[in-house]
Amino acid sequence: MTDIFKRVKRGEPLAIPAAAYNAMLDAAQTHQNRNIRLAPMNAGFDSLYVHIVNKTGRQLERFDVVGIDSPSERENFDAFCNRICFDGVVPQKQHKGKFAVLQQDAAPDMVVRVCIYGASVAKVLSRDAVKEIRYCDIVEGETSFFVSGGQTEVLWRDASSYWAIIRIGSGRSTLFPATLKRCGGEQGTDKKVASWKYDVVDALTDETLEENVDPTSSPHQWKRPNVGALLEATFGYAHYDKDGKLVLGWINEIAEQESCTT
């Protein structure tokens, strides 16, 4: 039987059998149809990857985290348009919600691929031995891991190794319930305003979000009644503002009153 796929040696005349030509067309058509059925890379159906220049001054490992700074190319317009690339820096306060997870190791000043949206492997540590971690965020000055709390969703986490799968850009619900644990202050009198302070705990996960909070100080929104002695709060509702700061909006402090008599 004649081999229709016999390779041609250099210098030999090219004569493609009809069967071989048709087979190549079939293979090309199959490949094209397969690509049509698949979502194109970075089209919004998958995790989104861009590049960063490692400006941390550190040797970074795969799945480390960096803060996203300004674009690395600002003078060459063609380069700016053809490849999205940021300077990756050591995370600071302003990088909450604006970070990237490395997808490969990076020496200082090396350009590497990073995930800025969607699912990625990362390392997530617990602030206070919380068993179930639902959200995490960056740590100022730390490139190796995230910590519990914040606004980035944790899809899965191995408590023994701290390795996790997180979903960048998911955000948490606008409003969520919080348990309040008194940690200081006084109930007040008819001549002195109450001054209760609280540790704020996520009511769904028992995760401590912030300690020693004065619910009347900025950015919190609680307007404390000036009516004398107030019973301490045990519950409230909170959210995170556009800067990633925890905000207590309402808490169940009430005025101390005597019981009705019959």
User: Do 152 and 233 belong together in one domain?
Assistant: no
Closest CA to 53 of 99, 91, 105, 110: 110
Closest CA to 175 of 118, 258, 248, 244: 248
Name the H helices within the chain.
18-37, 77-82
Convert the pLDDT of each residue in 222-238 to its tens digit: 998 887 799 999 999 99
Domain boundary among 168, 189, 215: 168
The CATH code of the domain that includes 140 is 2.40.300
Domain count, the chain: 2
User: Do 145 and 108 belong together in one domain?
Assistant: yes
User: Do 55 and 149 belong together in one domain?
Assistant: yes
Q: Read off the amino acid at residue 120.
A: S
Backbone angles phi, psi at 153, to 5 degrees: -75, 135
Domain boundary among 168, 184, 214: 168
pTM over 0.75: no
Residue 129 falls in which region: left (phi positive, over 0), alpha (psi -120 to 50) or beta: left
Domain boundary among 168, 197, 212: 168
Domain range holding 118? 48-168
Convert the pLDDT of each residue in 8-55 to its tens digit: 677 777 777 777 767 777 777 666 655 444 444 443 346 899 999 999
What's the rounded Cα separation, in Å, for the pair 176 and 147? 19
User: Do 157 and 217 belong together in one domain?
Assistant: no
User: Do 76 and 120 belong together in one domain?
Assistant: yes
Mean pLDDT of 136-148: 93
- Euclidean distance between the first and final Cα of the chain, in Å? 109
Mean of all residue pLDDT scores within the chain:
84
Element (H, E) at 121: strand 111-125
Scanning the structure block, which residue is given the tokens 């149809």? Answer: 33
Residue 167 in contact with residue 152, Cβ under 8 Å? Answer: yes
Hey, which residues does 36 pair with through a beta bridge?
none
At residue 261, the pLDDT reads 66
What's the rounded Cα separation, in Å, for the pair 149 and 147? 7
User: Do 70 and 96 belong together in one domain?
Assistant: yes
Residue 248 in contact with residue 221, Cβ under 8 Å? Answer: yes
Convert the pLDDT of each residue in 103-130 to its tens digit: 999 999 999 999 999 999 999 998 766 6
Convert the pLDDT of each residue in 66-80 to its tens digit: 999 999 887 788 878
